[in-house]
Each structure stands twice: as structure tokens, then as C-alpha cells.
Structure 1
Amino acid sequence: MTMQVRGSKLAARLTASMAALALLGTGAVALAQNWSTTVVASDNGHKVGNPKAKTKLVEFMSYTCSHCADFAREGDAAIKLAYLPKGDVSYEIRHLLRDPFDLTAALLTQCGDPKKFMGNHNAIILSQEDWFEKGRKTTRAQQARWQFGSNGARRQAIASDLGFYELMENRGYTRAQLDKCLIDEAKANALAEASQADVEKYGLTGTPSFVMNGALLDGVHNWAALRPVLDKQR
């Protein structure tokens, strides 16, 4: 009888232990979900993170904006590592186009699979000073190619003279793939129209600017100002 009681207790403990392990296993699966690797295309950019996050952050940026490059260096990695993984914050990068250089860069960053966007974005924005320098060293003949010919040909000239082709080829693209994206006039027009619509909708006056849950964050234009706002949402 004693052995039966002890056996029953042992069986109960084993059952409880197995249940606990099952719950732990379920928790482990949940913890394995890292939303920072989820990227979906939007009408004027790309959203990283949980599409259903309660806090939706949107950055309006320009590739020719030095402050946007500063934000990319200081804020992008921090957002990806500290705010996106759990799924309560999403981060969308949208293009505020200021000139043909912006449009050329935006078309290239959006070229191909949406999953490639963040890598493309970082490759161009983080090397901004390098291609700025290339631009400063261009000849008048090169600059003339940026202003004459078809829109696609102008963008191809910009991409060649500023080193965009080389940057993107290092990411696995072929020249033919890049040219296809650069001469996509429908995509170029869509980006320009969406950019103008965003300016009018939110009253944007500069870059980077940030919108959180549909409201423009007044006076927030860098990581130091944005970080405490994000921390309040955690």
C-alpha cells in the first residue's frame, strides 16, 4: 500500500513536470519570434516589425539629408535591437524626395525583394559621405548627363557617377536588374506622388521627421529626441 501511494505521488510529480516542460516549450517558441526580421513593402517605403504593433513609428527621410545619415547610424540599430523584437513597435521608413538624387537612391533601395530593403537602405545612407564626395568631384560633362535625356537615363547617369551601381552590385544585384529599377517610370511617379501626399498630410517641413500612431512628433528630428518618446511606449 505504501509503495502504491509513493508510486501515485511519483506519477503525479512526473505529470506536473511534463506539463511544466510543455508550458516552457510553448514559451520558448514564443520567445523565438523576432519581429525585427519581418519586412513588408508599403506605398512609399518599407515597414519593419510586427504589422499589428500597438506603436507604429514612421520616419520620413531623404538620402541627401546629412541628419538622416546621422539618425541611421545612431537610431536604426537601436530600434531594431531594442524596440522591434517583441512586436509592440513597428518602424516604417518612407521617402521624402527632395531631388533626382533622392529618387535615384530610393528606386535602388526598393529594387527587388522587400526583405532586401534594409540592407539596401543601409548600404546607401551609411555611405552618404563617400558618394557626396564623388558628386563633388564630377565634371561638368557628367553633371550635364544628369539633366538631359530621358528620366531613366538621367538616373542611370547619377547611379554611375555617384557609385550606386558598385554599392548595389556588391549586394548581389546585376547591372540589368538595377537598370530595370532605375527606368521604372511608373514606380518613380508613384514614389514622387506618395512623397508629396505625405508632405501635405502631415505638414512635413524637413527630414528626418517622425510620425507615431498617425501624429507628427513636433520638434523630434534626431535619435536623442526620439528615444525618450519611444521609451514611454514600452
Structure 2
Amino acid sequence: MQRAVFAMVLGIAIILAAGLWYLQGAQKPSASNADPVAGAHVVYGKADAPVTIVEFSNYLCPHCKHHAEQNLPLIFAKYVDTGKVRYVFRDLPFPTQNNVELAAQAADCAYEQNKYYDYHELLFRANELWGRAPLDELPKYFADYAAQLGMDVPRFNACLQGGKTKPWVEADKALAEKLNINGTPSFFVNGKFVEGFRPFSEWQKIIDEATR
């Protein structure tokens, strides 16, 4: 009996570990000729910045949330806003994550009103709410977030309900497949792959090395 219980617990632990590995992006992409910047829609920073960071993210990924909350404000303040980094946001909803896919489309609709960054942050802060909501109720959540940020809600709703930014998300997913990315967060810094969550102290080193 004890052996059976131990085996069951071990099996659950392995499954959970595998799930965490998948979300962290434990495998490095294999060689690909695809350009991680190609066709990007959501871009911040100067076009001629010496460093370009491309982030593939997922709104229900805990490590992506940590990056958004702990690193992005510092990266933007020190590097993006000072012209040293161009930052590209890309989405990677996993299969069957219809709620994440719609959240990504909503954030892209916010970009049309110059509110992407704020909406991006809000989606992560509130992901325990909308992440559990039925799919047909999500537009109400997302419209409410748009209102909280002072956006033109009718324009936002028309964008989301009309599927205007759906091709953006689909293009990001297709590019991730070409780049052999299967986990989040995943980054490219001047074309060099960087996997998983890193503290800001490491990001400083990564960015500074990329400028040399």
C-alpha cells in the first residue's frame, strides 16, 4: 500500500515538473533562418537602438508575470526610454488556451490606442480572474480593463469582437513554431536566444554585453 501511494505521489510530481518545464521554456530552439523581429506589430523604442529584445510571452505563465512585474519597468526606464533598446512583444498562447489567445488579441487592440504596455501589465495582475472565467464572458472583462485605462471602449470592443488583431497573434504563434520555441518566456537579444526568467541583474549584463 505504501509503495502504491509513493508511486502515485511520484507520478504527480513528475507531471507537475514537466508542466513547469514546458512553461519555462526548458529547450533551446534549434537552428532556424526565421527572423524573430520579422512582421512585429507591438514595438517600443527607437528603430535604430543598438539592442533589440524580442519577448515571446503567455498571459497565464507565472514566469512571464514575474518578468512583466519585476523586470519590464526597469528595462524600459533604463534602456528603452533612453534609446538603448528596442523592445518587441510577441504572444505564444499554448494549444487549447483560447482565453490566453483572446487576451493577447485584447492587448493588441489596446496597442491601437497606445495603451498596450498598461494593458499588458493589467492582464498579468488580473490573470487569476479572467483566466478562470468562461470564454464567452471574457469580452466583458477585457472591456472593463479598457475602461479602467481610459480607453475608447466602443473602439476597443469593435477591434476585439471584429477579430482585427487575431492575425497578429496567429502570426506570432507561426513564427514561434518556425523558431522552434515551445515555452515561455523566451527571448531573443540581437538574435541570440535567451531562455526563461532572469533577474534584472542578469538582464543588465545581457544588454550591456549586446552593446559591445
Q: TM-score, length-normalised on structure 2?
A: 0.70
SS in 1 for 2:210: coil
SS in 2 for 1:83: helix
RMSD between superposed Cα atoms in Å: 2.3
- Give the residue type in structure 1 aligned to 2:72: D
Q: Residue 176 and residue 55 in structure 1: after superposition, are their counterparts in 2 closer, same or farther (change >3 A)?
A: same
Distance (Å, rounded) in 2 between the aligned partners of 1:97 and 1:191: 12
State which of 30, 46, 49 in structure 1 corresponds to 2:45: 49
1:114, CA displacement in angstroms? 5.2
Structure 1 equivalent of residue 139 of structure 2: 159
Question: Residues 61 and 95 of structure 1 are in contact (CA less than 8 Å); yes or no, is this contact kept in structure 2?
Answer: yes
Structure 1 equivalent of residue 13 of structure 2: none
State which of 162, 186, 191 in structure 2 corresponds to 1:214: 191
Distance (Å, rounded) in 2 between the aligned partners of 1:215 and 1:198: 15
Relative to total residues, which structure has the larger helix share, 1 or 2? 1
Q: How many residues align?
A: 170
1:96, CA displacement in angstroms? 1.0
Instruction: Compare relative contact order (CA 8 Å, sep 6+) and give the higher one, 1 or 2.
Output: 2
1:130, CA displacement in angstroms? 4.1
- Give the residue type in structure 1 aligned to 2:138: I
Q: Could you say which structure has the larger radius of gyration?
A: 1
- Give the residue type in structure 1 aligned to 2:156: L
Structure 2 equivalent of residue 124 of structure 1: 123
Identity %: 24
1:131, CA displacement in angstroms? 3.4
Distance (Å, rounded) in 2 between the aligned partners of 1:47 and 1:192: 14
Does residue 96 (structure 1) correspond to residue 103 (structure 2)? The answer is no
Q: Residue 166 and residue 192 in structure 1: after superposition, are their counterparts in 2 closer, same or farther (change >3 A)?
A: closer
Distance (Å, rounded) in 1 between the aligned partners of 2:113 and 2:144: 20
Structure 2 equivalent of residue 69 of structure 1: 65
SS in 2 for 1:64: coil
Question: Residues 143 and 157 of structure 2 are in contact (CA less than 8 Å); yes or no, is this contact kept in structure 1?
Answer: no
State which of 146, 149, 152 in structure 2 corresponds to 1:168: 146
State which of 169, 181, 189 in structure 2 corresponds to 1:204: 181
Q: Residue 103 and residue 109 in structure 1: after superposition, are their counterparts in 2 closer, same or farther (change >3 A)?
A: same
1:93, CA displacement in angstroms? 1.0
- Give the residue type in structure 1 aligned to 2:151: Y
1:81, CA displacement in angstroms? 1.0
- Give the residue type in structure 1 aligned to 2:139: A
Distance (Å, rounded) in 2 between the aligned partners of 1:110 and 1:166: 16
- Give the residue type in structure 1 aligned to 2:207: L
Q: Report Cα offsets for 1:21-43 as digits up to 9, x if no partner.
A: xxxxxxxxxxxxxxxxxxxxx84
Q: Report Cα offsets for 1:25-71 as digits up to 9, x if no partner.
A: xxxxxxxxxxxxxxxxx845411111111211011001121211111
Does residue 82 (structure 1) correspond to residue 58 (structure 2)? The answer is no
